[in-house]
Amino acid sequence: MTATIESTTSAEHEIAESMKHELVQLTPYDKHNQELEASVHPPDWKNPTPDKPYHLVVIGAGTAGLVTAAGAAGLGARVALIERELMGGDCLNVGCVPSKGIIRAARVAATVRDAELFGVNVPPDVTFDFGKAMERMRRLRTKISPNDSAQRFADMGIDVYFGQGTFVDENTVTVTQKDGSVSTLKFKKAVIATGARASAPPIPGLDSVDYLTNENLFSLTELPQRFGIVGSGPIGSEMAQSFARFGSEVFLFERDGHILTREDADAAAVVQKQFERDGVHLMLNSNNMAVKPTDDGKICVSAVQNGVPSDTVVDQLLIAVGRAPNTDGLNLEAVNVKYDRPGIEVNDNLQTTNPRIYAAGDICSKYKFTHAADFQARIVIQNALFAVGPFGKKKASDLIIPWATYTSPEIAHVGMYEHDAKDAGVEIDTYIQEFADVDRAILEGQDEGFVKVHTKKGTDEIVGATIVAENAGDMISEITVAMTSKVGLSKIASAIHPYPTQAEAIRKLGDQINRTKLTPLARKVLNLLRRLNVGA
C-alpha cells in the first residue's frame, strides 16, 4: 500500500511539473498565430467524454501520432489522440515548416545579392525586411495548419483530447487539463509519440542569459545585428547561413574542425566554402565555452579557439545542439516502459518493454525526421492492430530513410557512409559525378557539388549515396527508390532523363559503372562485331 501511495504522489508531482512546461509560445500573437492556435489547440475545445475502451490511445500529436491515429481510425479502430500543446508537433510549429519558410526568404535575398552575375542590375540601396519575411512565414505556416487541426482529426472519428497524458496502469491513461479537470481513458493498446525538445549543453553561465532554441527562434520579429549560434548540425547550419544572408553578422561556434560533422566530409567542405562566401564567421575548434550577460543587455560568448581565448559579444544566441525526449508527465514506471536519456527503449517492431505499448518518432528513434516518424507510425499501426503473434509484423530496420540538410547547397544522404561500410565489414566501390560536368548545373551557376554513390564491391547494388547540390533533397529520392526497389546503379543509366537537368548526374553514374563492365574480352567481341558490320 505504501508503494502505491508513493507512486501516485510521484505521478501527481510529475504531472504538475509537466503542466508548467510550455513547449511553444505563439508570439507575436498576431492574426496568423491566433488562426494557428484556433486550428491546432483551439482555446474553446471541449474534451470528449469517454464511454468505452479505445482500441488505441495515442499520446502526442506530432507527425508520428497524427499518422498513427489517422491510419488506425481509417481502418475502423476506436482511437483517442492526446496532445498537451500544439497539434502538428515540432515539424509544423517550430521545425520543418517555419525553418523552410525563412530559408526560402534567405535564398531570395542571396539571389538578389548575386543578380549582377546574371546580367541583372540591382540598385545598391536594396534592403531586406526581416519582419515581413517572418510575417510571411507565420502566414504560410497557418495556411498549412488545417492538415494537422483538431477539427480535421475529430471529423475522422478520432476523440481528440488536450492535456497531459499520464499512464495509471496497464490499461488506463488520464488526461489532465490546465484547469485541473481529469478524463480517464481505458485502452487495449497505446502508442507514445511525444517527440523530443531542444536541450541545453552544460555551458557555464548559459542559464544566466535569455538564449534561443528552435522553440522560440521563429518568434523573432527583429533581425539581430550580431547573432551567435552554438552547434553546426542541420539546424545551426541552416540558420547560420540564412541569418547571414538576411544581413546579420553570424558567429557559428563548433567544437570540431569543420561544420556538419555527421555528413560526408567532402560534401560538408563544399557547404563550408559557401558559408565563407556568405560571410559566416566560422568559430571552429571552439572549446571551453562560457556565456555571460553584458552590462548593455547583450551576450558575451567566451571560447578557446585553436588554443587562443576569445570573447564574442552578440545580440542573440541560438543553442542548436542536443535533443531531450519528452517523457515528463507520462509516469512510464507505472506501466513498466523503460527509457533513458536518448528516449524510450523499443525493439525492431517499435514495441516498448511493455508489449501492449508502442512508440514512434523522435521519442524513440535515432532518425529524428518527420518522414521517418511517418513511416514508423505505419509500422506501429500494422504491428499493434493487425499482426497476430510473430506473423505479419513489420520491422523498423527494413526502412530505408533518406534525409537532407537545407543549406545552400543542400546535402542529402541515404544508406551507408564510407565509414559505415567499413565498420560493417562491407567492401564497396565508390562512384562520383561532379556537377562541374553537368550542363544544367553549369548553366544555373550551381556547379559546385557532386553525387557520390557507394555500391557493393563488384556489383551495382547501391548501399549508400550523398548528394550536395542546390536541390539535393529532391534528387536523393531517385536513389532511395532504386535502393528500396533493389534497382542497381547500372539500370539507372537505361532510364531516359530529360536534358538538361541536374538529375542527369545520377544517370551519368550509371554510365560510369557500365563502363567498368567492359572487360578486355567484351571489348574484343564488340570490335569484331563492328568490323563485321562496317569494316576496319
* Residue positions forming the annotated binding site: 100, 165, 231-238, 254, 322, 362
Give the side-chain half-sphere CA count within 13 A for 498.
3
Pair type for strands 182-192 and 172-176: antiparallel
| Cα–Cα distance measured from residue 150 to residue 146, given in angstroms and rounded to the nearest whole number | 8
Q: What backbone torsions phi and psi does residue 405 show, to the nearest 5 degrees?
A: -110, 125
| Cα–Cα distance measured from residue 135 to residue 30, given in angstroms and rounded to the nearest whole number | 9
b/e burial code for range 477-512 (CB count within 10 A of at least 16 → b): ebbbebbeeebbbbebbeeebeeeebbbbbbbbbeb
DSSP code of residue 423: H
| Cα–Cα distance measured from residue 243 to residue 238, given in angstroms and rounded to the nearest whole number | 9
| Cα–Cα distance measured from residue 466 to residue 454, given in angstroms and rounded to the nearest whole number | 9
- Which parts are annotated binding residues for FAD? 100, 165, 362
Alpha carbon distance, N-terminus to C-terminus of the chain: 98
Q: What backbone torsions phi and psi does residue 404 show, to the nearest 5 degrees?
A: -145, 145
Pair type for strands 316-319 and 308-314: unpaired
DSSP code of residue 388: B
User: Which neighbouring-strand residues pair with 452?
Assistant: 432, 466
- Which parts are annotated binding residues for NAD(+)? 231-238, 254, 322
Is 427 buried (19+), middle (13-18) or exposed (0-12) by CB count in 10 A? exposed
What are the CA-CA distances from residue 18 to residues 15, 313, 327, 495 (Å)? 5, 34, 9, 54
Q: Are 337 and 169 in contact (CB under 8 A)?
A: no
Cell of 97: 515548416
User: Which neighbouring-strand residues pair with 430?
Assistant: 454
User: Which neighbouring-strand residues pair with 198?
Assistant: 323
| Cα–Cα distance measured from residue 194 to residue 189, given in angstroms and rounded to the nearest whole number | 16
Q: What is the DSSP string of 213-281?
A: -HHHHTT--S--SEEEEE--SHHHHHHHHHHHHHT-EEEEE-SSSSS-TTS-HHHHHHHHHHHHHHT-E
| Cα–Cα distance measured from residue 501 to residue 440, given in angstroms and rounded to the nearest whole number | 5
